[in-house]
Amino acid sequence: MTTVAIIPARGGSKQVPRKNVQRVGGVPLVARAVRTALAVPSIDLVVVSTDDAEIADVARAAGATVVERPAALSGDTATSESAVLHALDELEAAGESIDVVAFLQATSPFTSAEALDDAVARVRAGEVDSAFSAYETYGFLWRRTPGGAAAINHDAAHRPRRQDREPHHLETGAFYVFSAAGFRESRHRFFGRIGIAEVPEWTAIEIDDEHQLRIARALAALHEAAHPIPATVVVTDFDGVHTDDTAIVGADGGEQVRVSREDGMGVALLRRAGVPMLILSTEVNPVVRARAEKLRVPVLHGIDDKEAALRAWAEEHGHDLADIAYLGNDVNDLPAMRIVGWPVAVANAHPRVIEEARVVLSRSGGHGAVRELVERVLSS
């Protein structure tokens, strides 16, 4: 049986502008969905349906096939079902024979590949006709009425213990799996024998507004496991990265900073491995150049526009921005971090930097953060 994952991702979004290409854990939401689907062994083809050129480029770069969605199916009132049906029509017109559909939403950044794979297997085996992601909850639900609040899933006069209550399941919106034939007939994601694909509650966030986007970014730093960083180039800020972001100022105005010898050894290991490195700093203090010279690393300092400087340096030396790991700690690093493949934050970075980083290190600036990054790059 052939299974296709379809990810509808239109360009328009009122609550969160450009929502589907917003980054969580340093990766655009649509790319996260594509990568999750590609990690599922039972999925044969991953498709993104979009009306937006940027989303299409991001999706292709992540490994998806793109179906161009017509404007009539891309407005605020267009349903996800209409986008899935259109994608099926386009795929089948191109010669694809599809038996099972996994419909993923890019706005759920922590979709479980294991739960999705299990749901696909159940539909393929005929155990259920459609399935959806949900998590178990024992919450007491209420609704507002003209006469006051009314209990929905419980008797308000009877409050049994959690272990004595029957759990309910709350739909997460992350994914839906169904037979293609049944979907075409019902034109809806729920039909026939409906199964629940249980997922962990912490994965259940669905991004519909800026507040939920910030929560998702914070969760990414907490829950995504440490892994090697397959970058081929390393760029770092200086203050707050190589230093602990403090300085001793003498009577003559000269500054001294604290650095880590451990970081120095890490840079030496990186250099011996032949991995290019650059220190990129807004500081004009001579100590930046002095430290870079000791480390035998090129430096650009006194830089106001880090993004432009990094783009120019990468182009001059033939480095692909997608292959660069940039280690930063404060908001002036964000423009440069947003253009590289591996935006990395030290453990004590500014909250906005942590939110947008793809990787958050366990060590702070000046306390081995550079060494930690180096080891994770070399381990890849």
Q: Would residue 317 count as lying in a domain? A: yes
**pLDDT digits 0-9 by tens, 89-147:** 999 999 999 999 999 999 999 999 999 999 999 999 999 999 999 999 999 999 999 99
pLDDT, tens only, 51-67: 999 999 999 999 999 99
CA 46 centroid distance within chain: 17
- Does 18 share its domain with 128? yes
Mean pLDDT of all residues in 220-240: 88
Residue 57 lies in a domain: yes
Nearest partner of 136 among 194, 190, 201, judged by Cα: 201
Contact 102, 175 (CB under 8 A): yes
Q: How many domains does the chain have?
A: 2
Mean pLDDT (whole number) for 337-358 = 93
**Residues 306, 181 share a domain:** no
CATH of the domain at 279: 3.40.50.1000
What is the rounded CA–CA span in Å between residue 260 and residue 244? 9
Q: Is the pLDDT of residue 25 over 90?
A: no
Pair 196, 239 in one domain:
no
For position 232, what pLDDT does the model report?
A: 97
Domain presence at residue 79: yes
Do 275 and 332 lie in one domain? The reply is yes
How does the average pLDDT of the chain come out, rounded?
93
CATH number at residue 189: 3.90.550.10
Q: Do 195 and 255 share a domain, yes or no?
A: no
Q: Tell me what pLDDT residue 169 has.
A: 95
Find the domain containing 217 and state its range: 3-137+166-223
Residues 84 and 31 in one domain: yes
Q: CB-based contacts of 146: which residues, under 8 Å, 6+ apart?
A: none
Are 196 and 238 in the same domain?
Answer: no
**pLDDT beyond 80 at 221:** no
Query: Are 113 and 262 within one domain?
Result: no
Residue 75 has pLDDT above 80, yes or no: yes
